[in-house]
Structure formats: C-alpha cells, structure tokens
Structure 1
Amino acid sequence: MAAKWIGGHSSPVLCLNVNTEGLVASGAERGELALWDGGGTPAGQLQLPKADDVTSVVFSPQCPTRLYTSHGETISLLDVRSLKEPVEQFHVSEEEINCLAVNETDSFLAAADDSGAIKIVDLEKKKAIRSLRHSNICSSVVFRPQRPQSLVSCGLDMQVMLWNLQKARPLWTTNLQECETAGPQSAGQFFNPPLAHSLSVASCGNIFGCGAQDGKVRIFRVTGSRFEQEMEFQGHSLGVSQVLFMPEAYWLLTGGNDGKVLLWDVSSDVGKPQKSPAKSLQRRKAQAPASTRKNDKLTKVASDARDKMLPKLTIEHGEKVNWILCTEIKGSKRVLVADQSSSISQYLLPGP
C-alpha cells in the first residue's frame, strides 16, 4: 500500500524533484507549488501568478535552496528558504514549457516547449544564448552527468537528439519509428507511433533511456558524438510517461499511462564497459543478418533479448503516472508518484 502525501495541493500534481538535502518540491495545475519534508509533511506553499500549470521543478545541483520552476511560458527562480515572489524570472519561450533541466555546474538551464524549441539560458549572464529545435513538441530534455555542455532531448516528432551547446544543430539524431523492428509488430506503429515522452541519463553519463507512446523503453549508449540503441523492451501496455535511472548504475524506474510503475535492471546489457565501442559496433553489424542493416546502422535489436526482459518489481499504482521520483527517506529508498490526483503516493523499494 502507498503512503499518501496530502495537504500540499488541491489540483493534480504534474512534476516532482528533490534537492541534495532531501527537500521535495512538487508542481501542480493552476500554478500550485509545494515543498515537503522527508516525512511527507508540507513545508511551504506558493501560488504562482496567472495560475498557469507548473510543468517542471528542478533544484540547482550546486545550491539546494535555488529552485527553478516552469509555469506557462515563464521560468521562475525561487528561494525555498522564503517562498515568496520569484527571485528572478526568464521569459525565453513563446509557448508552454514542458521540461526544465539544469547542468551539474549550475551554469546552463534548458527549457523545452510546445513549439519544439529548447532554449538554453546562460545562468551567469541571465539570458538565452541558443535555441535548439525539434519539428514537433519537445517533451523532455536532460543534461548528461559529467558533461555540462552535452544534453539529450526527445519529442513528439519521434526524434531523440544529442546536442553540444557549442553547436546549433544536433550531433546525432535517431527517429524511433525508423528503429522499429521489421515484422508483424511494425504495422501497429502506424496507429500507435513511438512519440517520445521522457528521458533519463544514468550517472555514468553514457547510457540513457527513453519512454515512448508505444509502451516501449529504449536504452541508448553514447559514444563520442553519436549514440546507438543498445536494447528495447515492452515496458507498459500503454504509453511510457516517465523513465528514471536510479543513482545505482543501470536500475531504471518507468511509469506508464497503464497505471503501473516498474523497476528494471538493465545492467546485464549495458553495464559492461566497452573497450572499443567502434569495434564492438562493427562486430555486431557483421553478425547481424542483412535485414537488420539500414543506412550502415544497426537498426534491429535481437527479439530474443527483448522478450526475456522482465521487471524486477511491479507497482500497481492504478492511476496514470505524471511523474516519478526516487529519494531516500529514513535510510530506505522510496518512489514518489504523481498522478491525476492532488496527492503524492510513496512506495518503499525493497533493499538489494
């Protein structure tokens, strides 16, 4: 059974984040923002102006009292020690912002919006310095750990992109629909295309996961200025709204529109360091049948490996998942789940 965090909101909770001190922030519809202590007790509340939905909340990695929030087309910087009007505001987007990301040095912020744009804000200069772009709604953007100028993004154009802040064009792009395995399942993609909803990068910075509308989870490995798909598996019966790598290497949480939260161990497939990624890719291409090669890229994941992938833990949450967060409370890892209700659900994760 889930423990419920209540009293912070009156509207559906849309997003969650936690700082290095264990303080949790949540954003909800109608401009509601709340802070929670580790026990699930509200520690602060704020009504943001215009009552626009709070779609993303991100703590500064360097300063745990700084909280960036997106509401409508606006980014607000708040001081959690005194939740009053914003310390600063940035107006860099023309349409509603879906996701915020701050790099680990707290020097750049990325804001992905409904126009497909990703606006990069220099937090020292306090202005937008670059605009990156998808051809449809950009749903998720995240900086890579240990690489403060590198980020990945995905969107409803079914594109996953790798960027470096020095360049306006992506270093590498993959279309999830073109990566689909040939065969009977492909026909269904016309009716249920792999619109990309969520991204998460593992702590190593080279492995990242993507959740999509077709219910599949795809795992990619970055090598230099490109990335390739390592594996894919059917994660949910409906769209995968959230993916989240846990601090431990290669344990992945996923949340879906089917009301389930699943825990996966992908370490057996991606946890082994590659001494020579280029040679490894060449070897896999050589071993693959001709039907799996397209544009000199490996585009098919072995079906037997995908079929064997089963979750290590299934949480029957029962409601469409808006956001998931992993945090440690009283020495145990917990999963916090935001859904269509005004409360936050807390689940205990079993120990190793």
Structure 2
Amino acid sequence: MAVKWVGGHSSSVLCLDVNVEGLVASGAERGELALWDGSGAPIGQLQLPGADDVASVVFSPLCPTRLYASHGESISLLDVRSLKEPVERFHVNEEEINCLSVNETDKFLAAADDSGAIKVMDLENKKVIRSLRHSNICSSVVFRPQRPQSLVSCGLDMQVMLWNLQKARPLWATNLQECEAGDSLQSAGQFFNPPLAHCLSVASCGNVFGCGAQDGRVRVFRVTGARFERELEFQGHSLGVSQVLFLPGVYRLLSGGNDGKVLLWDVSSDLGKQQRSPVKSLQRRKASSRKDGKLRNVASGEHTGVLPKLTIEHGEKVNWISCAEIKGSKRVLVADQSSSVSVYPLPE
C-alpha cells in the first residue's frame, strides 16, 4: 500500500525531484510548487507567477538550496530556504518547457520545449550558449553524469540524440521507428502506436541510458565514444511509458506508464554481457539471430529474458517518478493525476 503525501497541492502533480539532503520538490498544474520533508509533511508552498503548469523541477547538484522550476515558457530559480518570489527568472524558450536538466558542475542548464528546441544556458553568464533542435516536441533532455558537456535528448519525432555542447549538430541520432522496421516480429500495432519517445534517464556511469516510448517499451542504450547502440529492449507496459529512472549507482531502472503501473527492472546482468564491445556484440547478436533470411527481434523483453523484479499496481496514469531515502530505506515517489504524492517501499 502506498503512503499518500497530501496538503501540498490542489491540482494534479506533474513533476518531482529530490536533493542530496532528502528534501522533495513537486510541481503541479496552475503554477503550484511545494516542498516536503522526509515524513511527507509540506514545509513550503508557492504560487509561481502566471499560473502556468509547473512541468519540471530540478535541484542544483552542487547547491541543494537552489531549485529550478519551469512554468510555461519561463524558468524560475528559487531558494528553498525562503520559498517566496523567485530569485531570478529566465525566458529563453519560445514555447512551453517540458523538461529541465542541470549538469553536474552546475554550470549549464538545458530546457527542452514544445517547439523541439533545447536551449542550453551558461548559468554563470546567464546566456544561451547553444540552441539544439528536434523536428517535433522535445519531451526530455538529460546531461550525462561524469561528462558535463554531453547530453542526450528524445522527442515526439521518435529521435534519440547524443549531443556535445561544442557542436550544434548531434553527434549521433537514432530513429526508434527505423529501429523497429528492421525487426521481422514487429507487430502491426506498431504502426498505430508509434514509438514516440517520452522520457530518458542516464545511469550513474554516464554511458548507459534508458528511453521510454509510447509503444510501451523501454530501450536501453550504451554510449561508446561519439555514438550509441541499443543493447536491450523490453515491454512491460500496455500503454505508453511516461517515465524512466535509473537508481543511483546501480543498473536498476524504474519505469512508470499510462497503464498505471510502476515497474522495477534489473538490467545489470544483461548489460554485463555486452560490456566488452557493444557495437560488435550487437552485430554478433544480429548475425546469430538470422534464420531463413529473416532477422528475429532479439531486443524484445521475451527474447532477452528481462522481466520486472517488482510490479507496483499504482492504478493511475504516472506523471513522474523519483527515488528518495526515507528513514534509512529507499522509497519510490509517484506523481499522478491527483494532488497527492504516493510513496512505495523499494526492495534493496
């Protein structure tokens, strides 16, 4: 059973983040922002100017009192010690922002929006240094740990892209629909439920990342140099995957879906098989799977044997998932269509 955190919002909670001290921030519809302590008590609330939906909140990785929140086309910097008016406001995007990411050195902030643009700001000089682009809505952008100038993004153009801030063009890009076209076991439903890419999460190593898509699948990629290759793919959701989250320090991945489920995956053993050379291993797997001139789908969950280690029947469409350590134990925090935050125990 979930523990419900209530009293922080009157509208649907859209996003969550947790700082290194265990403080939880949540953003909701109509400009609502709230802070929670580890016991689930709301300790701060704020109505952001304009009453636009707060679509993304992210703490500074180096200064846990600094919180960035996107609302509409704006980004507000807040001091959680005194949750009043924003300390600063930035307006660098032309359309509604879907996702924020701050790199680990606290030097750059990336904001992905509905136009497909990713605006990258130098936080010290408060200037846009790069404008990157998808051809459709950019749904997620994440800086890679241990590589402060590198980031990955995905969007409703079904593209997953790897960027370096020294270049305006992507280092590497993959179209998820074209990946599927090579699989002979692709279901006819794929054409009616295309793999629009909704969410990304990068593992602590910085080289492995997961992507959740509208077709209910989670794909795991490994970066090698200036490119990445798909290593794993598995389906656990009957509807679109709205959230993925790698847990700190391990190759355990949470996924949340529009089907109301939250799933825990352990991909450490499957990734370990590919660690010598992901490019060559992918080629070997494709070669070994050829039979009667056709390519079998070696990436789906049933073929790789990737099964969820834990299934949480949350029951509501998942807007956001996060992870926090509360009273010495890891917990999954889930935001959905309600005004509360649900908290579930997570096995070690």
With the shorter chain as reference, the TM-score category is: over 0.9
Q: Is the 8 A contact 1:336 1:345 kept in 2?
A: yes
Aligned partner of 2:338 in structure 1 is 341
Q: Is the 8 A contact 2:140 2:200 kept in 1?
A: yes
Aligned partner of 1:13 in structure 2 is 13
Q: Secondary structure at the match of 1:185?
A: coil
CA change 1:198–1:163 in 2 (3 A) is same
Q: Is the 8 A contact 1:33 1:46 kept in 2?
A: yes
Deviates more, 1:278-287 or 1:257-266: 278-287
Q: Is the 8 A contact 1:232 1:306 kept in 2?
A: no
User: What is the CA–CA distance in structure 2 between the aligned matches of 1:206 and 1:132, rounded to whole Å?
Assistant: 21
User: What is the CA–CA distance in structure 2 between the aligned matches of 1:345 and 1:276, rounded to whole Å?
Assistant: 40
Q: Does 1:313 align with 2:293?
A: no
User: What is the CA–CA distance in structure 2 between the aligned matches of 1:186 and 1:37, rounded to whole Å?
Assistant: 46
Aligned partner of 2:272 in structure 1 is 271
Unaligned 5+ segments in structure 2 are: none
Q: Secondary structure at the match of 1:190?
A: helix
Q: Is the 8 A contact 1:179 1:300 kept in 2?
A: no
CA change 1:302–1:341 in 2 (3 A) is closer
Alignment coverage as a number of residue pairs: 345
Aligned partner of 2:84 in structure 1 is 84
1:165-192: CA deviation from partner (whole Å, max 9, x where unpaired): 0001000000001111533534211100
How far did residue 279 of structure 1 move?
4.4
What is the aligned-residue identity percentage?
82
Q: TM-score, normalised on structure 2? A: 0.95
Aligned partner of 2:210 in structure 1 is 209
Aligned partner of 1:296 in structure 2 is none
How far did residue 303 of structure 1 move?
5.0
How far did residue 128 of structure 1 move?
0.7
Aligned partner of 1:142 in structure 2 is 142
How far did residue 271 of structure 1 move?
3.2
* Equivalent residue letter for 2:9: H
Q: Secondary structure at the match of 1:315?
A: strand
1:122-143: CA deviation from partner (whole Å, max 9, x where unpaired): 0011011110000000000001
Aligned partner of 1:261 in structure 2 is 262
How far did residue 350 of structure 1 move?
2.0
Aligned partner of 1:295 in structure 2 is none
Unaligned 5+ segments in structure 1 are: 293-298
User: What is the CA–CA distance in structure 2 between the aligned matches of 1:9 and 1:274, rounded to whole Å?
Assistant: 44
How far did residue 287 of structure 1 move?
3.4
Aligned partner of 2:191 in structure 1 is 190
User: What is the CA–CA distance in structure 2 between the aligned matches of 1:303 and 1:24, rounded to whole Å?
Assistant: 35
Which residues in structure 2 correspond to 1:53-68 (within 5 Å)?
A: 53-68=53-68
CA change 1:43–1:271 in 2 (3 A) is farther
How far did residue 248 of structure 1 move?
3.5
Q: Does 1:252 align with 2:253?
A: yes
* Equivalent residue letter for 2:178: E
User: What is the CA–CA distance in structure 2 between the aligned matches of 1:235 and 1:185, rounded to whole Å?
Assistant: 16
Q: Secondary structure at the match of 2:178?
A: coil
How far did residue 283 of structure 1 move?
3.9
CA change 1:337–1:51 in 2 (3 A) is same
How far did residue 305 of structure 1 move?
5.2
* Equivalent residue letter for 1:348: P
How far did residue 265 of structure 1 move?
0.6
Q: Does 1:326 align with 2:319?
A: no
User: What is the CA–CA distance in structure 1 between the aligned matches of 2:285 and 2:239, rounded to whole Å?
Assistant: 31
How far did residue 301 of structure 1 move?
2.9
CA change 1:275–1:304 in 2 (3 A) is closer
User: What is the CA–CA distance in structure 1 between the aligned matches of 2:301 and 2:190, rounded to whole Å?
Assistant: 20
* Equivalent residue letter for 1:111: A
Q: TM-score, normalised on structure 1? A: 0.94
Which residues in structure 2 correspond to 1:75-224 (within 5 Å)?
A: 75-180=75-180, 182-224=183-225
Q: Secondary structure at the match of 1:62?
A: coil
CA change 1:212–1:273 in 2 (3 A) is closer
Q: Secondary structure at the match of 2:190?
A: helix
User: What is the CA–CA distance in structure 2 between the aligned matches of 1:348 and 1:305, rounded to whole Å?
Assistant: 27
Q: Is the 8 A contact 1:137 1:157 kept in 2?
A: yes
User: What is the CA–CA distance in structure 1 between the aligned matches of 2:298 and 2:168, rounded to whole Å?
Assistant: 31
